[in-house]
Structure 1
């Protein structure tokens, strides 16, 4: 192997536009995490029905999936910054609506119950369906060298996970000590800050496309690219089924309220625990990136995630549950960074919006669909059996993928070989 340049863990943070980008991601992720905690607790408090928690995820996933392919096409033909600004503005309106519903002057929830909240989540699902491909394809435009992609993805992930640590904790504490109105007000302010930071990033022209296509041809080429690349397809599929079966986040209000008996403050800690593990692992990977045997390590980490979910479902100790959730976040962080790095590396710049949209259908919306699956199975078989079943199914998926996806199993992401 040829001698490589010394690794600089802070390389992309020296770029002004990238710093604005991660600041915006910090604010928007904080806002979304606070909102998720408050909406989940509010709806469960109103309904006392685990299925109602799953419906939150479904209300967001359906519109996101429906618009995703078209959103990827738009991200490849429209300036990506412009898309992001429009989308974040829509999310600001959604946050303002949730805030309005809680004010004394509003009688919306008294008249219609939780339905208006589901309506706002539906609209935010459309917006987030467009935001995913735009942000995914915009980030590489802020990085001048492909060799910095892994570093950029690691810091972007670290920022996202850091906000995911703070967001649920802030949401739970705000709800518990200051009430629902203060919580939604904080959410709205953070979205407006994200809009400000995104607006300050310099404009970036679209990458050149030597073979422009119409809508139908463009969508077909993006789908063919993903399904024709075993490494990308198997990595995306692995994360899809792991999150679909193994995620227990949607059921955390039940664990906090009825099983671990820790209230909204404890719910904030439970929601934050996976992100604590994830951000610590992402920071470690900024210094020690995983390149050699990346595919094998990804498979082992998804298996570790499944084991954590099984043990979490069986745990009755709050602190042990927090440790298990933190470990699950650490395993998930490794898998996510490897998957994002290989997709960015293997996908042409002019096609990243469409490939991201396919990835969003598989992985991005799997969190919301997984939330519905968790709520449905909890309704069917009980909360604890549902979580244990999901963890076991994750292990089955890993075993199947390791046998069938031989190219992923031998994947190596060293700079000389990542093409």
Structure 2
């Protein structure tokens, strides 16, 4: 594709605040003290979160023997975002982010401690896991958009893209450690201690929020209470293709192509006949690729919609290839590039949307982003779980990849149409040259 064509045709404007030139440094935003504190607290909390995710999925699979039950657990955790996500964004635009995060992080820690007590006491049942997953989801309705928007208040617009990428690197770094520790913990002493570790890990982000210097923040004027703010946010996104189509793409991928708890637990248990340690190792390998993708995104410092389309198509194609891998070690090795492409999709979509949105609308737009990314899981996870149970882990995994490829293709054409582009297929020195070009250029050639 040419530099001015394809998915890049819809321009991505800078944020509305003036900003200095972005530093070409992978870790430049960590020079900001407040963000450095926040980042450190999140590393600890995210490690606990990944421990709980692995322990939760394995506990449900152990209690029920059903991949569909794992899918139901995942669906219940993300159902609140689907039901209330947009309203959460309205509240986030109105409320002080730091105080809100202190409440949500405390609530999320309590859900981990409650599940730990139930499991360690020997009274845990599947419905307990379902309930705590749903309660955790309720807290994330406010926590996710508040964390997304609070980053811009800590670092300012000049470091926003870098900080968004480092947030993802933070999450993926924890994903390297958490599953491995969870696998050892589950094997040695049981799932209950993994839940306990997660509950206690929330003390770190709470402490970091309390230590933040409010005078050094870049506060955005809070939106006053008023009527029609939800509709206003939806109209704002609908009128801007550079926001709308990345959100549509991330919705399809989040709903159907990010169901790794279902697929990896099924491959570990049913295909390769291994235990919790192997399940943790598979998650760790994919996290290694995701971390590499996050650090590359932080190094780039910019987000292009063309990269988003390419990464989404590659992600889907790799899922299909991985699903068909005949041996365990080939399957495990392919999870590294799957993780890299998946994380590139997530970070590129997230940062391109944040950089294009008016700061006064950021809470509502990011809530819509998170709602479609995670809120589709209540539909996708049970469906993918049923396909995996009925037709096998390989077909279930491949089905998610097919959806990602089709969605990337459809969104590429939608963005091209919005930018006044047409698909051009030519032969250049004996090789096909496929790209999107302006309609005027194509007509002149014809």
TM-score of the aligned structures, taking structure 2 as reference length: 0.84
Q: Which among 61, 64, 69 is matched to residue 86 of structure 2? A: 69
Q: Give the equivalent residue in structure 2 for 1:21.
A: 38
Moved more, 314-323 or 149-158: 314-323
User: What is the rounded CA distance, in whole Å, between the counterparts of 2:135 and 2:147 in structure 1?
Assistant: 18
Q: Does 1:48 align with 2:65?
A: yes
Please name the residue that 1:417 is paired with: none
Tell me how far apart the structure 1 counterparts of residues 78 and 108 of structure 2 sit (CA, whole Å).
15
Q: 2:128 aligns with which of 100, 116, 132?
A: 116
For 1:313 and 1:284, the matched residues in 2 are separated by 26
Q: SS at the partner of 1:261? A: coil
Check conservation: 2:291, 2:340, Cα contact below 8 A.
yes
Aligned partner of 1:270 among 273, 282, 291:
282
User: Aligned match of 2:210 in 199, 216, 220?
Assistant: 199
Instruction: State the Cα distance separating 1:342 from its structure 2 match.
Output: 1.6
Distance in 2 separating the partners of 1:351 and 1:220: 12
1:71 to 1:288, Cα distance in 2 relative to 1, 3 A: closer
Aligned to 1:208: 221
What's 1:298 paired with? 308
From 208, 211, 223, the equivalent of 2:234 is 223
> Which position in structure 1 is the counterpart of 2:95?
78
Listed as ranges, the gaps of 5+ residues in structure 2 are: 1-20, 422-446
| Cα offset, 1:14, TM superposition | 0.8
Shift of 1:126: 0.1
Task: Report deviation, 1:408.
Answer: 7.9
Measured in 1, the distance between the counterparts of 2:271 and 2:279 equals 11
Aligned to 1:376: 386
Going from structure 1 to structure 2, the CA distance change for 1:168 and 1:79 (only over 3 Å counts) comes to same
1:156 paired with 2:139, answer: no
Task: Give the match for residue 12 of structure 1.
Answer: 29
**C-alpha distance in structure 1 between counterparts of 2:248 and 2:411, whole Å:** 9
Task: Determine the C-alpha separation between the residues in 1 that align with 2:265 and 2:206.
Answer: 30
- Decide whether aligned partners of structure 1 residues 23 and 205 sit closer, same or farther in structure 2, where only a CA change above 3 A counts: same
CA distance in 2, matches of 1:32, 1:367: 18
Shift, 1:244, TM fit: 1.9
Residue 192 of structure 1 deviates from its aligned partner by 2.1
- Residue matched to 1:181: 192
When structure 1 is superposed on structure 2, of 80-89 and 220-229 the one drifting more is 220-229
Residue 335 of structure 1 pairs with residue 348 of structure 2: no
Q: Give the distance between the partners of 1:193 and 1:45, measured in 2 at CA.
A: 31
- Deviation digits for residues 100-144 of structure 1 (CA, Å, limit 9, x no counterpart): 01223x53x3xxx31111111111000011101111111100013
Structure label with greater radius of gyration: 2
Contact 1:296 1:409 in 2 (8 A): no
The question of whether the paired residues in 1 share the 8 Å contact of 2:251 and 2:376 is answered with yes
- Would the aligned equivalents of 1:312 and 1:325 in 2 still touch at CA under 8 Å? yes
Which residue does the alignment assign to 1:285?
A: 297
- Of the structure 1 ranges 401-410 and 69-78, higher mean CA displacement relative to structure 2 is found in 401-410
| 3-state SS in 2 of match to 1:405 | helix
Equivalent pair of 1:296/1:408 in contact (CA under 8 Å): no
Q: CA deviation at 1:290?
A: 5.0
Contact 2:145 2:363 in 1 (8 A): yes
Give the whole-Å Cα distance in 2 for the aligned partners of 1:408 and 1:301: 20
Instruction: Name the SS of the counterpart of 1:170 in structure 2.
Output: helix
| Distance in structure 1 (CA, Å) of the matches to 2:53 and 2:22 | 42
CA distance in 1, matches of 2:174, 2:46: 6
**Structure 1 stretches of 5 or more lacking a match?**
411-419
Q: How many residues align?
A: 397
Q: Is the 8 A contact 1:76 1:206 kept in 2?
A: no
- Asked whether the 8 Å contact 1:234–1:408 carries over to 2, the reply is no
Distance 1:189 1:268 in 2: 21
**2:357 maps to which residue?**
347
Q: Give the corresponding residue for 2:74.
A: 57
Pairwise CA distance, 1:52:
0.3
Supply the distance in 2 between the matched residues of 1:270 and 1:327 (Cα, whole angstroms). Answer: 13
1:6 Cα deviation from its structure 2 partner: 5.8
